[in-house]
Amino acid sequence: MKHGLMKIFGTTWGLAALLLVLASISCLTAAWYYEKEFLTVEGTVKPAGFEEATVSFEVYAGTEHVENTTVHAVIPEYSDITFYISDIENETLLEDFYVTVYLLGEGPLGNITLDQNVTLSLPEGEYDFVFEIHAKASADVTEESTFIVKVAARCEGAAAP
């Protein structure tokens, strides 16, 4: 007497083929599946240019004070850069004022004064500039007062040499 499935498929080979098909389907449906966002990347895009810095100090009437600060700059393309004094408040408090500009690791590039700018050309990159500030107070100052000098940089893309 033939088993019930054997009657349907007629041979042992037919039953074997059916079992193989069922096993394949079972393996396919039993495969592990996993999907999940697991990494988040956040960043901040900053504009290229110069980081800001503030230098504060006291200088006595008739004396000179020298102070250094380093400013980091990101230049996005080959550029002509001009440093200049953009504003000065209470200029009469100062007998002399200038800023010597250095590219870190190199000699002086020049002095910024009210009448003189410092200009240079640089390729794309990150740079550290050292600004050496020289302030000599007027000898005739009789009461404590403050001065403010603002130094600016103008950068313009230029054709590389």
pLDDT value, residue 51: 95
pLDDT digits (tens, 9 = 90+) for 2-46: 555 555 555 665 666 666 666 666 555 568 888 889 899 898 888
Strands 94-103 and 108-112: antiparallel
pLDDT digits (tens, 9 = 90+) for 37-79: 989 989 888 888 999 999 999 999 999 999 999 999 999 999 9
Tokens of 102: 């250095």
Residue 1 has pLDDT above 60, yes or no: no
Q: How far apart are CA 84 and CA 25, in angstroms?
A: 78
pLDDT class of 159 with cuts at 50, 70, 90: confident
pLDDT value, residue 3: 56
pLDDT value, residue 38: 87
pLDDT value, residue 25: 60
Taking the CB of residue 11, how many other CB atoms lie within 10 A of it?
10
Map residue 28 onto helix, strand or coil. Answer: helix
HSE toward the beta carbon, residue 67, CA cutoff 13 A: 12
The dihedral formed by the CA atoms of 71, 108, 153 and 63, expressed in degrees to the nearest 10? 80
User: Residue 132's closest CA among 79, 69, 80?
Assistant: 69
Q: How far apart are CA 5 and CA 39, in angstroms?
A: 52
Show the domains of the chain with their CATH numbers: 49-157 (2.60.40)
Looking up tokens 């500030």 gives 133
Alpha helices in the chain (DSSP H): 4-9, 12-29
pLDDT value, residue 7: 55
Residue 119 has pLDDT above 90, yes or no: yes
- pTM of the predicted model, to two decimals? 0.74
Q: How far apart are CA 120 and CA 48, in angstroms?
A: 17
